[in-house]
Structure 1
Amino acid sequence: MDRVSSSMKQVSNPLPKVLGRRGGGSGLDAERDGFERSQTVSINKAINTQEVAVKEKHARTCILGTHHEKGAQTFWCVVNRLPLSSNAVLCWKFCHVFHKLLRDGHPNVLKDSLRYKNELIDMGRMWNPRFPGNLQMSDRQLDEAGEKDVNNFFQLTVEMFDYLECELNLFQTVFNSLDMSRSVSVTAAGQCRLAPLIQVILDCSHLYDYTVKLLFKLHSCLPADTLQGHRDRFLEQFRKLKDLFYRSSNLQYFKRLIQIPQLPENPPNFLRASALSEHISPVVVIPAETSSPDSEPITDLVEMDTASQQSLFDNKFDDIFGSSFGNDPFNFNSQNGMNKDDKDRLIEQLYREISGLKEELENFKAESHRLVMQLRGRISELEAELAEQQHLKRQALDESDFLHTELDELKKQREDTEKAQKSLTEIERKAQANEQRYTKLKEKYSELVQNHADLLRKNAEVTKQVTVARQAQGDMEQEKKELEDSFQRMSEQMQRKSQEQTEVLEALKRELAASKQELQSLQSTLESSTQSRGEQSTRIASLEQEKDSWTQAMAQHNQEVANLQAELQHLKSMLDSEQESSTKTLEALQAQLGKKESCEQALQQQLLDQQFFLLQCTVQEAEQMVQDSLNQLNDPAHISCVSSTDYLLSRTLAASDCIERLQNTHGKYVSSCTDVSSLLPCVAMFAHLISDTILQGSATAHMAPLEPADLLLEACKQCGNEALHYLSALKDKASLENADCTPVRNCLSRISAIGEELQPKGLDVEQEELGDLVDKEMAATSAAVEIATARIEDMLSKSRAGDTGVKLEVNERILGSCTGLMQAIQVLVLASKDLQREIVESGRGAASPREFYAKNSRWTEGLISASKAVGWGATIMVDAADLVVQGKGKFEELMVCSHEIAASTAQLVAASKVKADKDSANLSKLQQASRGVNQATAGVVASTKSGKLQIEEKDSMDFSSMTLTQIKRQEMDSQVRVLELENQLQKERQKLGELRKKHYELAGVAEGWDEDAAD
């Protein structure tokens, strides 16, 4: 409880130091502080020691926080202060929240979390140990530790081997430090060293038991050859552990502290599954403290098992033959004790085999039943998942249709709303126009009132014009009526049309002008008449009454306008509310539709991403295949591989056809990007055929002349590089559409053209003479090699007689290596004859050897050509060696001749391997002899180079007696000589290429290649 409370105190710390209040008081800092505080509170509320589920609102706040800051820096800053290693609930809730952030948080959460990978691994190991400290586990727990995966069991076995090996090394080290000739176990120093071995014995017993069970489990899942290393390592540790257990059981110190089990005489047979039932787990017993050292003897588990099996067999014997048989006075079993006759042993053996077979059968039945039930359950799960996916698909389609329908309705409603809004705008526009007209009328009325006031002031002087005023009063009453009629018409026209209001206003203006003129005339009349004052006063009173009536009419008109404006405002508010509600409904439906469409697009995009991931994996494997073939071109072991031009042409033709199919499927995939099933096999076949073409082209180049061989190898390398470029374009979505395999097709066409030029054309020899010609050429080759050997020995004897010093040493080394090469060639020729004889005997059937040679003329011609080349090369090499020994030849000529002989022998081996059986002993001898020739050739080249260096060192220039001018002159001469030699070298290389080309053409004509091409 104290630890939990301390954890709560640590968790409740709301703000770390890095989240403290910043100075400055700026808006951004305040916003950042508020964000960090809210994130800290939400993280502490989501990840706490209370054993309740994480609230969604806290987790949602953490997720939104990662999107806000585009990362998880704040999250990790807060989490690093939580005591995750001290509370399991706290660590569990942290894993829950962290998993949510990885799935729903910002994409940068993964990048920010990679730096904490080691801490997460250590935390997982601390809270999830597979093996307890005492290594005591049941079989079920051992299966759970491997997670029912054969790869995990394989790795677990290796780790147990390492663990047991460390324990055995400790065991052996302690024993080696003791003097076993004396009773060291009774001394204090010896017991100090032996005491820790008790724990080692306990661990070793468990490790040995688990290793045996895991090996039986692995042998039931993997081939026996795959586990050969495991079995060898187990046997070695079994012997060591058995010896150490035996030596420990004889020590007096261990006898009173621990009972050490004895391992069986023979290790378990992992190749027999039933042997697992015979395995007995070794049990180490630690006696109680009160027991005496000699009270409990060491228990041999194997003997106990044997005794129990013996009693079981005796009981079965009594059940079959009757218990009275044991009481028979002639029962030799009772008279002689444990001695049994052959019949009893046979019966026991049969019982043992029957019981073992029954156990195997029961185990097999149980395993088969378990597998069947597991597969059925998996099938049911997959069917349920398929049905659920189909249901979800139908539901999504129905929802999509429904949302489309609602969207159409909303579009219609939106159009209606837009129409209503347009009409409302028109009404508002008209109302504004009416208001403007009313304002103008009001202004005109104000002008009339002002004019009326002026008239009142002027009428003060017309008090004497009573008579004239009476007459004018009638006129004014008439004008009043006309004004009332015009005002009524004006109010009515204001509600209907603005044009009528304008006309009324104009009429009023005209009437006002007329009244002004009349008033002026009345004024002139009043000035002349002073007697009509009383009547004028009456007229003034009537005018005041008329003014009051006009004022009341204007107030009533203002009230009506106000009522109209209030009603218009009410209509506006109602229209705004309806428009707002319809807009909210439309936005909600559009958001729901967008969510469904985004979900559908996400599923579609996920399917496309998975298909493209499969394409990337396939292309990656294809690149690895093509790259391996390119790497083999530089492998020295590949130099001995040869092939024919016919097979190379067949491979290039198949690769060209595959490229056509690949282009078609690639175009279909680029156009739709929905189905990648047809493209994947084409990519795999493309990589396979391109790799095969490259390897076959390289093997064919090993048999071709130098210049065509170089061209063919260059074409193969270019083909591989173009194929890798095309495959890399397929892996990238940006370059997938523009990926083009036309350069690969061009490279294949170039390889085909070179292969067609290299096709052999046969010999101008009768078919009946081929058999005799083969024997003659082989005999001539043997004779030429023997003659060359004799000449080399003769040259060696002459050199020893006439040369001394460095020259003699160089000649002996060169001639000795040439003699070794000739001997290797003799062995190769003999092995070729034996293999040729075997091929003829195994392939001719009832026909004669001559008929066999005639039937296989192409192969025979290859043998003849190779034999000629070997004999000729041996002769030329001896001549070159003779000139070198005499000091007239060049070392480079000897090296070239040795290389030529190696190429000729390789041609002979290749011609012999064409029809030989791959398991033939003579073929193995021939290949061994070919390797010997290659080694001897390397020896000739090495001795020649070494001799050349010794001769050059001997003939080095002496600069001691030369002056500066002489040295400068020699330097200029050397530069001139270098330029001349470089020019000669370039010309000689061109000449060499022409000679090889001509030689190849002549050899083709001589061997009848044109005829074969025509056929």
Structure 2
Amino acid sequence: MSYGGRETDNTMSQKWVRWGFIESIRKAMSADESAPKQKHVRACIIYTWDFKTGASFWLGLKGLPNLGIDDIVTWKAVVTIHKVIRGGHPNVLKEAIQQMSFIEALSRTGALGCGYGTLIRAYVSFLLAKLDYHRLHPDFNATFDYKEYISLRRIDDPNEGYETIDDMLKLLERIDDLQRQIFATFRPASNNECRIAALIPLVEESYSVYTFAKSMLTAMHQRVGAVEVLVPLRERFNAAHGHLYNYYFEASNLKYITSIISVPKLPFDPPQFYEIDAGDLPQQRRKEPEAEPESPKPRDERLVDLFEETSNNIQDPWIAQTAALQEQQRQQQVAWEQEQARLAQEQQRMQMMTAEQERQWRETQNQQAAQQAASRVFQLDQELALLRDQTSRDAMTINHLTSRASQLESQVTQLSLARQETESRESYARSLEEQLAQIRQKYEALAKLYASLRKEHLNLLQVVKEMRETEKKAVEEAKKEAENAKAEARAASTIVEEANRAKYLAQSDLNRLQQTHDSEIAILRTQLEQTQRQLGDVAASKGAEVAGVVERYEREKSELERTLVERARDLDASRRRVEVAEGEAAALKRQREEEGAALTMGMDQTMNALVELQKASKENEQSLVGQLDKLQVEHAERMNRVLDSILDSCCRKVDEAGEELESQAMSGNTTATAEYTLTVLDKVTQASADFGESYLKLLQGVGEQTDVIANADDFAHELAQLLHNAKGITRLAEDSALESILSTSRSVAGSAKSFFDGVKSRVLETVPTGDRPSTVTSAQARFSNTIPAFTHAVEALVPKEVSKVTEGGGDIADTVETELHNAAKAIEEAATRISRLMGEPIDGATATEKQVNASILEATMAITGAIANLIRAATASQAEIVAYGRGGSTKTAFYKKNNRWTEGLVSAAKAVAFATNLLVDAADGVVKGTRKMEELVVAATEVSAATTQLLAASRVKGVANSKSQDKLEAAAVAVREATKLLVKAARDAAKRSAEERAVAEVSSMTANQIRIAEMEQQVKILELERDLTSARQKLAEMRRKAYHSDEPSAENGTARN
């Protein structure tokens, strides 16, 4: 038990160490723009030495979420990788060479715009070069901290040593390029700590490479006699020495670096390799001489001997010359230090001069600023006097505008509140749409899961079926084998019976022959006795005859005895044959018995295997059925949750529509009519019935939840449209009718929400299974009971003229077609009129006015063409709707059955024709100068509203996936786009004309006249605002009266709402 406890403790401690290591990686590569902390980097290095691998370090790096996305994290990761490669276990270097593709991928990522992208690519390029160097030269470790015999081995072959030093100098050049880029990206407003952190490992790396290259180059100069061959390497090394000198000087001025490491100090001049004494070379390892001098020395010992000979051959003149050179270098160093001190004093003097010049410049700037301030003060005094005069003149205006400003402020406050409420509703609507999209995605995923589970279930059923067929075939084969065995056994028994029968026959023959033989012997004996008696009788009388008879009898006797012997011999042969047949029969019987036993054993094994197979198949089938039942239960629970979520969404949609109904800032569908609202009510009634029916089918087990979800969504959507249109038709109602519409609308919305809440799965779970259908039916009935009151309230707004369309005794189909034909005819006449106007010249018009009039007429012509196309598309869509919906009934019966839709369609067609004529009249008046541009804009707005009404009327009964409906939608879009262009052209023309008039009027006014005119314009604005409010109230009242008026208009027999 204690051993197991120690194992658990070790495992837990390893987990804690690994967890701490992952935390160190995460903290070292944080997203803060600061240097990676030394303790976290050190923890990563120690972890590699503890476990002798860096696999966890690479896994931890790849698991960072922002690596490759956040460039600060990527930069810290690159710096940390460099430090861990240098300070970590030697295996980390080998693993880093394997991770070169991962390191290279870091250079292609990171793009958050903090200025690290170029640095990351440069640092990654350096790391790849370093790893490639170690791959080509595997004897070097990550810190280039080799023992001297390793470095000497590198220059055993001059060519190989030359290439090695060349590669090291290339690595130094890459380090120099990288540190230059880092210094170039320093930002003056930041401490640049994150960037400076990369300079520390670069200082250590560069000094290690520099020291190693210096040692190898020194050894090369001692090894190679011709120093001219090494001139390229020496020049590159001297250049690298100068770069490192500057780099270390700049690094030593950064406190962050000096607080962590000691920056190396290089001499100002590079070393002179051909003047270095052999004693200056690094200490070499020496080996004891071998016991057998005849054997060849190893390569390292040959090199050591080579340097020993070189050291022994140095003479005193060389030593003296070296001492002189050292003294000269010391003097040069003293002179360089004196020069540095002089340069420091000169730099201090220059700084003092610069400070003095900066002080003088500041005094000059202050004097200039004082002069400018004085002039500015004088100018401000003058402006202040003018402002005081202006203030006194504006006092009266301020007093007049104070009250108006307070009113406007209150209006602005109300508008801002309404705008905020609208924005909040829009944001809430967007969030609901996102939630609905997520729910739909979840539903689609669940549907896919259900399909996959169903497919797996079918596959498992197929597998079970195949197993049963296999089992049946095995049983049939076993039965066949058993029957074959039984047939063979019967054949064997038949053979045995035949053998027994032959044996019996042979025994019978033998017995019969024995009996015959015995009877014949008895007869012969009897005859012999009789003959002897007869001989005794006649012996006396017939002596001679007796001798002959005796002789004959003796001969017969011998013959009989011979015959008896032959018979006995035949009997023995028959016995032997019988015995042989009995042996063969016994052997055959034993063989058949063995075969029968083998077949019986095989059949038993087959039956046992078959029983095991049936048992396993049954257990597997039961397991699969249990899993399938479990999956079906889980799927049903998921689908119930999805269904409840959809029903919650439907309730929220109803609540939003109810809030819009109650909101004073929302006006609903401003183009809705009472007859169109009643048509939408029919769709709501049908949608509620479909929803209830689909839910009942689901409870009865014959329906799908997808149908319930689709019908619930349709029901909620249609109900929201109904409330939106109910809000819109309140503009047509008096105060008493208005309250009736709102109260019945609230009742419909509340009962619909109760319908949705009452059929949720979490509610139905509390109801007994048998009572659930009645619960759904009751909820649907409660909703249906609120419809008549709403219908009555809306029908009160339907004009009597519209009701006459379906209540009259004429043919409704002819009436509808006549109205559509009249609308098309009116539009054709309008187009002809516009074409005539485009050809008429306008006397006295300027070129600008002619251009404006031409653009207005062209836009009006485009609108009439689009409306004509709309009427044709509406006629085709109406014909398709009637053909699709009437079935075997007549058109008149269809129109009467859908009387509300028919009334809306006729009203919309009349509205389009009326709006088109109004637009043409307005365009004619604007061109001739008898009407204003504002009238043209109003007429275009009426056209857009009538188009929307006609499109809505067609949508109510539109056929799914109908090309005619698609054409109608496209035609409506074209009408709206053309209307927008006309409105834009009219407003631009009005704006241009107003600006020209304003410029012309203001250019001829004096300053005093401008002030007076400004006051007049402000008074006019107040009057216009008052008139605008009064006009809006009057317009609302006129629309109510016009909608309910029985008087047909002069144009088309109806009025537009």
Q: TM-score, normalised by structure 2?
A: 0.31
